[in-house]
Amino acid sequence: MVSGKRIIGGREAGEDEFPFVANIQYTHDRRPIQCVGTIVHNQVVIVPAFCVVHPDTHQPVDHRDLVVGYGSAERSKQRHARVVKIAVNHEFMPKEMTSDIALLQVESLDLTTSSVQRIPVYTGSIHAGQRLEVVGWGNDKPTGGEWTERLRTTSVVISDSDQCRRSRNYNGVEGRVLCTENKLNPGHDLCDGEFGASLIAKVDGQFQLFGTYSYHIDLSPEGYNQCAKDSSLAFYTHIYSYIGYIAATAGVSVDSFTARTNDRPDHISNSKAVNVWLIALRVVLALIPTIGIVVWAMMRFRHRQQAQNRQWQGNTYELAPRSAATSDSDTDGLHGPRAEVLDITL
């Protein structure tokens, strides 16, 4: 079925019901692009990587082109935050939609009001049959159409079926992607324009973030040609499985993203303790090359001393030369492309 309700089978959100949801917009080749962001820190918004890279070059779009709307369930009433930097996960592969996560560093948001809050990342277990909510803006057609003015929400159900395994990214109910099946909750679905939609649930009375919407697949012969088909499955980036990446990229502690908002102040980045730890971490990271050189020199000196001792004892021999596969350049501990980091102000 096709419905004019955009998020299909759901309802309109209350004004301050989901104060952690942001609307991301920009224009590419004269075509408007929209996706959903989730506020997890007063300077960090999680978005799908797919939304903020050029479709041809797969490089991040210019951060100055992004418009981040927040503070209201209605898009026309939102305030706008300036984007300072975009950090796309270096493992993101657009064709396979792996590691579909990116972080936007925004100017510091005031999280002391009821209309703007961060949401903690859920750290617990997930099981098949679990009912969650998904929140976003979008339209009622797989392509084209008009975006809804007001934020909407609907319920979805976690699946761990063989159908979920039709996606090569899926590796279990608590893997890097989460799967929901439309047939488990007929008539409820996402639609176009809702990439990044927040997958959430209340835990002990407070919303927590499970995932962000990444992509659909449809198992019917005609494919994904309308929203809310029972043959469709939706896949979400499992945010907690990327918590190490998020914390390292932002340069703040994991607790900054997982702590409940009523357990500690929202302005975690202003904590002097975090400031001290971050400075210490940066100092240690800066010293790693120097420490490595010193350790290497000490080991070379020790090997020479051992060789001399062996020669003096009449037992001279040589160690086998290192192969090219294990050259010094391969032991620096740096593998893969350099990851982008944010400049969080403490």
DSSP, collapsed to helix, strand or coil, labels residue 213 as: strand
DSSP track, 82-141: -EEEEEE-TT-BTTTTBS--EEEEESPP-TTSTTS---PBP-S---TT-EEEEEE---SS
The CA R_g of the chain, rounded to the nearest whole Å, is 24
CA atoms within 13 A on the CB side of 186: 3
Please report the domains of the chain, with CATH numbers, ordered by start residue. Answer: 11-264 (2.40.10.120), 272-330 (no CATH)
- What would the two tokens of residue 52 be? 């903020």
pLDDT value, residue 320:
29
pTM: predicted TM-score of the whole model, two decimal places = 0.74
Whether residue 50 contacts residue 89, with contact meaning beta carbons closer than 8 Å, is answered with no
Positive/negative CA dihedral, 164, 54, 40, 6: negative
The count of other CB atoms within 10 Å of the CB of residue 37 is: 31
Q: In tens digits, what is the pLDDT along the chain, a chain of 346 residues?
A: 223 334 555 788 999 999 999 999 998 888 888 899 999 999 999 999 999 998 888 899 999 999 999 999 999 999 999 999 999 999 999 989 999 999 999 999 999 999 999 999 999 999 999 999 999 986 655 455 567 889 989 899 999 989 999 999 999 998 999 999 887 765 566 665 579 999 999 999 999 999 999 998 888 777 655 666 767 889 999 999 999 999 999 999 999 999 998 754 444 344 444 454 555 666 566 667 667 676 666 666 555 554 444 343 333 222 223 233 333 333 222 233 345 788 776 5
- Residue 186 makes CB contacts below 8 A (sequence gap 6+) with 228, 230
